[in-house]
Amino acid sequence: MSNGSYAEVGGTQVYYHDVGEGPALVLLHGSGPGASGWSNFNRNIEELAKSYRVICPDLPGFGKSDMKPVEAPIPGWWAEQILGLLDHLGIEKAHFLGNSMGGMISLKIALEQPHRIDRMILMAPGGGSAVTSIFPSAGIKTLLTFYDGEGPSVERLRGFIDQFVYDPSAITEALVQERFEAAMDPRIVEQPPMRPGPGGMPEELWRDARLTQLPHETLILWGREDRVLPVDTGFTLMKQIPNARFLIMPKCGHWVQWEKADEFNTIVAEFLKQ
């Protein structure tokens, strides 16, 4: 994988990968400790770049990008940053693929500036509301409190990552160490991006009446055994978005793009071609 580039967006340095040619496809990662664009999508970028111009940023507060201001609202501020990055790259409209928090940001962009999105893939996105499951889940609680209490450790991170997948035996020690090193960036330890601040808790997008007016062809993907955002969290979004399809993957957790990489890449490519 080639090295990425930096763009200045509203005074914030945003690190991103720009790979391939064709229609633009923006990949937005989730928000767990040590997350980044490459760590979330390293099994997908090169395959998708065979047909698309893949833009995969580190959301500010993660990876190599600058930090997110403590007072910045979630996900609105991130949505503005991503649109600013597209403006910097001269991209007026793109397909969006968002995982977890990245899915929530994609939804926010669709609500605020629907003309900037072509097709939309939401992979276990935030912004919904659990119908039958107890929420917040243990995984969400760990995500929000990873840097609190006894503080971060490899053991806590390994336990957290195990909750992301159906089969924890697939998690390698190298993956855990890579995520832990990223999570221990002194900037992030001092200012964890998901710690609730003056901006408040993440916006409950499922309450936004504009969902019922979204024009986008939308694919919602979920792992049946997701222990971070349970699959029923997506039912409210599926019911409201007019052109939404809901595909549930068996024997799969929160990382559909990682656990079911080959199938995921094929499904995404076929959906975007339609």
* pLDDT tens digits along 13-42: 999 999 999 999 999 999 888 899 999 999
Contact 22, 118 (CB under 8 A): no
Q: pLDDT grade, residue 156 (50/70/90)?
A: confident
Examine the pLDDT at 271 and tell me if it is beyond 70. yes
| pLDDT at 163 (0 to 100) | 85
Is residue 145's pLDDT more than 90?
Answer: no
Report all structural domains of the chain as residue ranges with CATH numbers, in order of start.
Answer: 5-273 (3.40.50.1820)
- pLDDT bracket for residue 10 (50, 70, 90): very high
Per-residue pLDDT at 78 exceeds 80: yes
* Residue 95 appears among annotated catalytic residues: no
Higher local confidence (pLDDT), 123 or 189: 123
Of residues 47 and 194, which shows the higher confidence score? 47
* Peptide bond connecting 69 to the previous residue in cis, omega within 30 degrees of 0: no
Q: How big is the chain by its Cα radius of gyration, in Å?
A: 17
Per-residue CA distances from 29 to 36, 50, 141, 173, 215 (Å)? 6, 20, 19, 21, 23
Which tokens go with 244? Answer: 């939404």
Average pLDDT, the chain: 92
pLDDT digits over 85-144, tens only?
999 999 999 999 999 999 999 999 999 999 999 999 999 999 988 888 877 777 777 777
- What number is the average pLDDT over the span 181-185? 89
Assess contact for 184 and 152: CB atoms under 8 A: yes
Q: Pick the residue with more confidence: 271 or 198?
A: 271
Phi (first) and psi of residue 98, to 5 degrees:
-125, 135
> With b meaning 16 or more CB within 10 Å and e meaning fewer, what string describes 142-180?
bbbebbeeeebeeebbbebbbbbbbeeeebeeebbeebb
| Predicted local distance difference test score (pLDDT) of residue 198 | 64
Of the residues 17, 95, 216, 254, only one is catalytic, namely 254
